[in-house]
Amino acid sequence: MKRTCINLLLLVCGSLAALAQPRVVAHRGHWRTDGSAQNSIASFRKAAELGCYGSEFDVWMTADGVPVVFHDATMDGIKVEDTMYAELMNHRLGNGEYLPTLQQYLQETVRWKDCRLVMEIKPHRTPERESRLIDMAMKLVRELGLEDRTDYISFSIHACKYIHEKNPKAMVAFLGGEIEPKEIKAMGLTGIDYHLAAFEKHPEWLEDAKRLGLEVNVWTVDGEQGLRHHAALKGIDLITTNDPQLLMQILGSRQ
């Protein structure tokens, strides 16, 4: 009986240790690998194949209101926000893929059920344009049955608040790094997704966020030293990295 109890205790402790491990989010997908490119559909597939907890990607809206997945404000020298989709659609990413629309991108994610979507809404010229983009993005997410698997992030506080207002159950984290956890909580948001420098400046925010029940994501942590350091920090739930494979190896060796 005693031995059974001890074994059970060890099992519980082991499970808790595994739970305490930060989860891996591939930054702009898993793109540092053959056949991939940042924010390509292939980069999501490769992050999912690798077994990442989630894959992050960036969303802009073209001048005529088409949501597209891309990071920079400009593509091949033209501003995405000010350009018609028809002008952008034939531009290619580094791996040869055409610029994906959000719809094309999300359609691919449907079959990768174990990988969360971390959707970054880029700050647009006006709050109205952000709201319009969010309306379309959330509609697509709902129609494709992805609501339970999608986390939203943004540097725009308007975008974060608007997403929360539209769906109070949605996971929404602010990226900006300058707002303290209790204010984030008061806005109804579910997490902070801050640059690693924000936690160096305010190490107490990790504990504050935990106490408030906020999810903590840190970006962008690359290289073995940084990944090991952040993987060992108490209070970090998610690490966003360009090296998801390396982080998974590090976490695997810690178990």
* Helix (H), strand (E) at residue 216: strand 215-219
Site string for Mg ion, 80-119 (x = CB under 5 A): ----------------------------------------
Give the total of residues touching Mg ion (CB under 5 A): 2
- Give the count of beta carbons closer than 10 Å to the beta carbon of residue 132: 15
Report the distance separating Cα 163 and Cα 150, nearest Å. Answer: 12
Q: Alpha carbon of 71 to those of 15, 75, 195, 209: distances in Å?
A: 37, 9, 17, 28
Minimum distance of Mg ion from residue 35's CB (angstroms)? 21
Nearest to 55, CA basis, from 15, 26, 85: 26
Considering beta carbons, is residue 193 or 237 the nearer one to Mg ion?
A: 193
Considering beta carbons, is residue 55 or 83 the nearer one to Mg ion?
A: 55
Minimum distance of Mg ion from residue 16's CB (angstroms)? 31
Report the distance separating Cα 184 and Cα 113, nearest Å. Answer: 29
Does 130 interact with Mg ion (rule: CB under 5 A)?
no
Site for Mg ion in 194-223 (CB under 5 A): none
Q: Which residues pair with 121 in a beta bridge?
A: 59, 154
Q: Which residue in 120, 208, 237, 243 binds Mg ion (CB under 5 A)?
A: 120
Considering beta carbons, is residue 39 or 208 the nearer one to Mg ion?
A: 39
Residue with tokens 């531009």: 91
Minimum distance of Mg ion from residue 58's CB (angstroms)? 4
Q: Which residue in 25, 26, 58, 159 binds Mg ion (CB under 5 A)?
A: 58
Nearest to 26, CA basis, from 40, 10, 14: 40
Residues that bind Mg ion (CB under 5 A): 58, 120
